[in-house]
Structure 1
C-alpha cells in the first residue's frame, strides 16, 4: 500500500482511517461548503459508495460547538469530517469521550490542541496544508486507502476533483501546484483524467470571448487592455490572427496552438512596451489543469473555472447543487450552478464597485473596510481579495473586511498576497488571536483566513490584528 500511495508519508494513517470507516455500519459525512469542501465531499462520498458503505452527507458553513452538537444528534456511530475538523479537534474530542461518535478527520487546517486516533492531516507529517495539500487532497489520500483496503475501484480518477479543490483553495503558488498536490496531479495524469499544460495564466480560457478574457484578466494589469474593453478589442483586431468566426469572437480554446502562441507573444510585447515589470510579465504564463473527461468549452473543463462555479453554489447556501455537479450531474444541477455563478459575478462586481467608491481605512500595518449589510458575508472575503490593487487599495499590506452575519455577530475575512506571506504574514494566526481578543474565534490559511466576532467588537479586532501583522512583518 505505502509504495503505491499518492503521498507515502500519510499512507499508514490513511489506511487506519480507511479500516475504521470500513468497520462502520454507516457513516455521516460532514464537510465544509467552499470549493475545497465540496470537492472533498465529492471525493469522499464517491469513495464511500464504491466501498459499499451506507452514508449521509451534511454541510456546515462553519464548524463550531453548536454545529458539532447538531452532527452528534444525527445518531451516527462514525462521522467523517472533510476539509474541517482539525481546528475543532478539542470540541470533537469531547464528543468522542462522551461516546457520541467516533470521528475520522481528513483535513489540512491547523489542528487544535487535542488528539484523536483517526486524524489524517498533512501538517502532522510536515507537509504544508496551505500550499501542498488541500482538504480535497486529504480526502483523495483517504479515498485511495479505502480502495486499497476494500478492493474497490482504485479511485485514481478522483484526482481530478482533488485538483479542482486545491486550485479553488488558492494552492497554485507561482502558477502551479507543488508538493503533495503535484503527486495527486501525477495520479490524475496517469489515470487519463487530467492534463497539465503551460498556457496563458488568465481565468476564463474555456468560456469567455477573447476580448472579455483579456479585459477581465486582472492578476497582471496591462495598461490599455485590463479593464479596457475598447483597448482589448483594438489589441486583438491588430493581430494577424483570426480571432472571429462567423462574426463572433472566438474563445481561447477555439484557437489553434499557433494562434494562441501568437496572441500570447503579442500580449507580452504589449506589456513590455507599457512598462509592466518583468516579474509580473512572467506571471502571464502558468500551469493549467484540464479535466479531460469534461466537454471542451465548459466551466468544468478547466480546474480554475470549475472551482469558481462550485464556490458560487456554496456562497448562496446551495452546497447540494455543488455536490451534485461534483458527482456528475450535467443536467439540472449544472444549469442551476451556472445561474448561481451569473448572480455571483454580478454581486462581486457590485461589491468591488462599493469598496472602490467608499475606500478603505489604513492602519499602520493593514487596511480594512466594514461593509455592514451592503455585501453578503459569504462573499466579502472574495471581494476583499479582488479589491487589492484597485484604486486606493494597496497590494503591499493585508486587507481585513467586515460584514454583518446577524444581529449578534460580525463575519471577518482577511486576504493577503504570496509576497506578504513570504515576508512572514500568517493570517490564520492573525484571525485566531485577534478574534479571540474580541470574544470570537477564527482561523484558516496564511494567505486567506476568516473569523466570527461579536457585533460591536470590530475596533478591538483591528487593534490586535494590526499589532500582530506588524510583529509578523518586522
Structure 2
C-alpha cells in the first residue's frame, strides 16, 4: 500500500493493528466539521474492516469525559481530532488502550498507537487536519472491501473546514490526500472563483455575500451586484431565474471573473486581494451538482451547523453517506445556523468591541450559543470599528454543563488572520498560556484557538493574552 503521507505510514499501521485487535471499541471525536469528517472516515473504515464500535462526540475532551470512558466496558478508545493534547490525562487510566489520530499539539506523554503530523515535523495547523490524520489510519485499515481511497473526499472537506487553505489551496501533506481523491475519481481540484456558495447561491447573492475580497459596489450591495451582472455580455439567467456559478459554462465563468477583476482593480482593491479571487476549488464528484455536498467549503459549513446545535449524529450520518431525513435535518440546522449568525453580528455591535494594546475583545454573555461565538468573532473582524489586523477574543457563557470543579466557566474563542500568522502569531500558544494563567485550559491552531476559563477571570485572560500576543508581534 502506498501511504498518502509516507512519514506517517508506520504510525498509521500501528494504529490500524490495535484497532483490529479491539474487542469493545469506542470512537470519540470532536464536534466541528473536522471532527465530524474525522469520525465519518474512521467509522466507515472500521465498518468496512468488520470492527464493531460505538461513537460519541465531545465539545471538549476533558477529564470528566475520559473518566466516563474509563468507567465503561471498552478495551480500546479511538480518539479522532482530539486526544493528543490530553494524553497526559488519558495515560492516567489503564481501563482502555488509547489510539489517537489527531493534529493538535501533543501533551508530554507517550502512547504506542499515536498518529500526529507534528510528531514527524508536519504542520498540523496547515498541512494535515484531524480528518487527514483519520484518513491515514483508514488507508492502513484497507482490506478485502477496498483501500478506502474514496474517503479522501471527506478528508478534504475536513481540511477545508479546519481553515487549512493557504493562498487559495491545500498544501503540504494535504496535497497527497487530494491526489488520491482525484485518482479515485471522487474529487476534482481546479482553479476557479474562490467564493463561498458556488453550488447553491444565485449569482447576485453569490457576489453580494462574498466578503473575503470586498469589491466596492458589489460586496454587500445586492442591487450593485445585479447591475454588475446585467451589464455583462453572457447568458446568466435560465427561464428567467439567475443561474448559480455551477450552472455556468467555462466561457461564462471567464466573462464574470474578468469583469470582477477589472472592477476590483478600478476601485482600488489591493493586488494581493484581487489575486485571491481565484483559487483551487474542491468538488466532490459523487455528490449531486447544485447541492451543498458538491463543494468542500459548503459541505463543511453544513457539518458545522449540525455539530454546533448538538446534532452531531446528524452530521455523522451525512458523512457516512446517508441522505433523505439526515440531509434534510442538516439543511434545516444550516438555516437556523445562518439566522443565529446574523443575530450574532448584531449582538457584537450592541455589546461593543474593546481594544487593548495587542488584542481586541467582546463578551456576549448568554446572548449567543457558545458553539457559534468563534464564527461570530471571525465575522466581526469585517465590521466597522473592528481592526481586521488585530487578533480578536470572544467570550460566551457556557451552558448547563459549563462548570469546572463545580464552578461556572466561560467559553473563549480567538481568531486571527493568515497575514498575522505569517508575522509570527500563534493563537494556540496564546490560548494555552493565557488560560493557564487564570486556571483554565486552552489550545487550538495558530489562526484560531479556544479555551475554557473560570467565570469572572475574563479580564485577567485578556491581559495575559494581550501580553502573549505582544511578545509574538508588535501591533500597537
Q: Quickly name the TM-score band, shorter chain normalised.
A: over 0.9
Q: Please list the CA deviations of residues 362-388 of structure 1 after superposition, one character each: whole Å capped at 9, or x if unmatched.
A: 000010000111121100000101111
* TM-score normalised to structure 2 length: 0.97
The aligned residue for residue 453 of structure 2 is 453
- Return the match for 1:270 from 253, 263, 274: 263
The answer to which of 19-28 and 437-446 deviates more is 19-28
- Return the match for 1:109 from 98, 104, 108: 104
The aligned residue for residue 186 of structure 1 is 179
2:38 touches 2:155 (CA, 8 Å); kept in 1?
yes
Matched, 1:211 2:204: yes
The aligned residue for residue 405 of structure 2 is none
The answer to which of 296-305 and 370-379 deviates more is 370-379
The CA distance in 1 between the partners of 2:259 and 2:206, in whole Å, is: 15
Q: Please list the CA deviations of residues 257-287 of structure 1 after superposition, one character each: whole Å capped at 9, or x if unmatched.
A: 1001100100111111111111110000000
Matched, 1:134 2:154: no
Shift of 1:42: 0.4
The aligned residue for residue 245 of structure 2 is 252
The CA distance in 2 between the partners of 1:242 and 1:285, in whole Å, is: 21
Shift of 1:93: 0.7
> Following superposition of structure 1 onto structure 2, how do residues 214-229 of structure 1 map, counting pairs within 5 Å?
214-229=207-222
Shift of 1:438: 1.1
In structure 1, list runs of 5 or more residues that go unmatched: none
- Return the match for 1:72 from 70, 73, 90: 70
Q: Please list the CA deviations of residues 426-462 of structure 1 after superposition, one character each: whole Å capped at 9, or x if unmatched.
A: 0001111101111110100000000000110001100
The aligned residue for residue 431 of structure 2 is 431
> Following superposition of structure 1 onto structure 2, how do residues 194-343 of structure 1 map, counting pairs within 5 Å?
194-343=187-336
The answer to which of 203-212 and 432-441 deviates more is 432-441
Shift of 1:73: 2.2
The CA distance in 2 between the partners of 1:105 and 1:151, in whole Å, is: 24
The aligned residue for residue 417 of structure 2 is 417
Q: Please list the CA deviations of residues 382-430 of structure 1 after superposition, one character each: whole Å capped at 9, or x if unmatched.
A: 0101111210111111000000104711100000000000111100011
2:24 touches 2:73 (CA, 8 Å); kept in 1?
no
The CA distance in 1 between the partners of 2:61 and 2:20, in whole Å, is: 25
Q: Please list the CA deviations of residues 78-105 of structure 1 after superposition, one character each: whole Å capped at 9, or x if unmatched.
A: 110000000001000111xxx2100000
In structure 2, list runs of 5 or more residues that go unmatched: 403-407
Shift of 1:57: 0.6
SS at match of 2:60: coil
1:215 touches 1:228 (CA, 8 Å); kept in 2?
yes
SS at match of 1:306: helix
The aligned residue for residue 82 of structure 2 is 84
Shift of 1:357: 4.0
The aligned residue for residue 11 of structure 1 is 9
Matched, 1:390 2:392: no
SS at match of 2:9: helix
SS at match of 2:169: coil
1:356 touches 1:392 (CA, 8 Å); kept in 2?
no
The CA distance in 1 between the partners of 2:101 and 2:446, in whole Å, is: 19
The aligned residue for residue 52 of structure 2 is 54
| Consecutive aligned runs of 4 or more in structure 1 exceeding 4 Å deviation | none
Q: Please list the CA deviations of residues 42-80 of structure 1 after superposition, one character each: whole Å capped at 9, or x if unmatched.
A: 000011001101111111110000011112222100110
The answer to which of 72-81 and 202-211 deviates more is 72-81
2:101 touches 2:116 (CA, 8 Å); kept in 1?
yes
The CA distance in 2 between the partners of 1:192 and 1:109, in whole Å, is: 30
